[in-house]
Amino acid sequence: MSDAVSSALFRRAQELLPGGVNSPVRAFRAVGGDPIFIKEASGAYLTGADGRKYVDFIGSWGPMILGHAHPAVVKAVQDAAIRGLSYGAPTELEVTFAEAIRAIYPGIEKLRCTSSGTEATMSAIRAARGFTKRSAIVKFEGCYHGHADCLLVKAGSGLATFGVGAPDSAGVPEGAAKDTIVLAFNDTAGLTELFAKRGHEIAAVIVEPVVGNMGCVAPEPGYLQAIIDLCKASGAVSIFDEVMTGCRLAKGGAQQLYGLQADMTCLGKIVGGGMPLAVYGGKREIMDVVAPMGSVYQAGTLSGNPIAVSAGLATLELLLPALYAKIEASSARLEKGLNEAIAAAKLEGQATVQRVGSMITLFFAPGPIKSWNDANRADRKRFGTFHGSMLESGIYWPPAQFEAAFVSGAHEDADIDAAIAAAAKALAA
């Protein structure tokens, strides 16, 4: 499946990097074969180490909504780099960026920039605990919120793919996860019951409002509102982790799409335009517990880095209604084509396409998939074969069953149709 150049690089990499990679899912363990090493990317395409071109449906796992190397974003990065790479001191850019975020997410009255989504969620939890003076947090099975100790419990994404226990990761002391309560996603009754019993202990509920990390799973009507309402009634903080959905499902993310407002929001990926930048923010009174205003400590040498913020601002400026309309049309075309391919291969009841906006997953499982229990029925082996066949056809699809694929503004109908034709071939086989 892989090319000789990538395989040679992978052997070199494995001598030095655990599994040959700097983030686990990249290693292709879940699907078999060696990963493709990437030389460059432009628009909807990646070029592998041997020069072969692929249509990319990963988009760096979410950030590249404009496609790769968008000229305006690249120019913003170049212009910023000439003025210095990092100052470790405040800049006007950060203020402009914060104003832009607040205009898009009215629930974010104050915010702080971090360098990764992991830092954003970890810090949001710390702020919520500091604000409420409570310890317990609630998360949902199959939702991934980065790799902070307290969040590595039934955490979807790479952890689901590699099937490790609870806490999901070795090296996480039981104590670090003992205040993490895990419930099934979309189980309003279970959450209501939990709050009735232990509401006074709960500092925060953190959720991916549309889950991407067990594959694409939508919230049932009323579920997200119930999270917000239950938190409000008991003095807990609702945290929407929109690292993946933010600026993707709509400019204002899932909260705009569903007309909701959480107490706190985490953003990443798209807001950094492909650079290391993420955000946590929310109600003023909650964010004012963060140092130096308050007693919750959180810091970062490269936080609000001028190049990352410049890439983010350039990206935000291009998130226009026409972009979302184009991406919705492309995503709907892909969904329809995949469903037709499933029908043509007589795989109805064995394969299910789920999509919200430009997040899409082909599960090798019967649908509808509403929770991790449903997703976990998926046939990983079949997915691996599917993935290998897609790659052979030049389609770079996420290398794990429990990841969403992403459509960008750079995908044209011909790119979508190439993916559909490749999927039809893979499914028929």
Tell me the catalytic residues.
144, 241, 269
Interacting residue with ligand PMP among 68, 112, 126, 145 (CB under 6 A) = 145
By beta-carbon proximity to ligand PMP, the closer residue of 243 and 365 is 243
> Total residues at the site for ligand PMP (CB under 6 A)?
16
Nearer to ligand PMP, 29 or 145 (CB): 145
State the sign of the Cα–Cα–Cα–Cα dihedral 73, 76, 82, 83: negative
How far is CA 150 from each of CA 186, 373, 404, rounded to the nearest angstrom? 21, 22, 24
How far apart are CB 125 and ligand PMP at their closest, in Å? 12
Q: Which residues pair with 111 in a beta bridge?
A: 281
The answer to the question of residue 213 lying near ligand PMP (CB under 6 A) is yes
Question: Residue 428 Cβ, how far from ligand PMP at the closest point, in Å?
Answer: 32
**Cross-strand pairs, 38:** 48
Q: How far apart are CB 169 and ligand PMP at their closest, in Å? A: 14
156 binds ligand PMP (CB under 6 A): no
CB of 274 to ligand PMP, least distance (A): 12
Within residues 105-134, the interface with ligand PMP by CB under 6 A covers 116-118, 121
- Contact predicate 214/380, CB 8 Å: no
Among 212, 229, 149, 154, which residue's Cα sits nearest to residue 184? 154
Pairing of strands 136-140, 180-183: parallel
Nearest approach, Cβ of residue 405 and ligand PMP (Å): 13
Two tokens, residue 189: 């009754």
Closest distance of CB 166 from ligand PMP, Å: 19
Q: Are 156 and 402 in contact (CB under 8 A)?
A: yes
Q: With contact defined as beta carbons under 8 Å apart, do 337 and 149 qualify? A: no
User: With contact defined as beta carbons under 8 Å apart, do 101 and 281 qualify?
Assistant: yes
Per-residue mark of binding to ligand PMP, 23-62 (x: CB under 6 A): --------------------------------------x-
Binders of ligand PMP among residues 321 to 380 (CB under 6 A) are: none
Q: Which of 146, 167, 273, 357 binds ligand PMP (CB under 6 A)?
A: 146
d(CA 139, CA 215): 17
Q: Which of 138, 228, 244, 422 binds ligand PMP (CB under 6 A)?
A: 244
As a residue count, the chain comes to 429
Question: From the list 241, 263, 335, 374, which residue makes contact with ligand PMP (rule: CB under 6 A)?
Answer: 241
Tell which one of 140, 144, 324, 383 touches ligand PMP (CB under 6 A): 144
Residue 417 Cβ vs ligand PMP, minimum distance, rounded to whole Å: 28
C-alpha 423/C-alpha 34 separation (Å) is 21
Q: Rounded to 5 degrees, what angle do the CA atoms 109, 114, 116 make?
A: 125
Closer by beta carbon to ligand PMP, 266 or else 362: 266
**By rule CB under 6 A, what string of x and - marks binding of each residue 251-270 to ligand PMP?**
-----------------x--
Which of 140, 133, 265 minimizes the C-alpha distance to 200? 133
Nearer to ligand PMP, 304 or 388 (CB): 304
Going by C-beta distance under 8 Å and a sequence separation of 6 or more, which residues neighbour residue 330? 358, 407, 411, 412, 413, 416
Q: Which of residues 276-295 bind ligand PMP (CB under 6 A)?
A: 278
| Minimum separation from the CB atom of position 245 to ligand PMP (A) | 7
* Residue closest to ligand PMP when measured from CB atoms: 117
Q: Does 389 bind ligand PMP (CB under 6 A)?
A: no
Q: Which residues bind ligand PMP (CB under 6 A)?
A: 61, 116-118, 121, 144-146, 208, 212-213, 241, 243-244, 268, 278
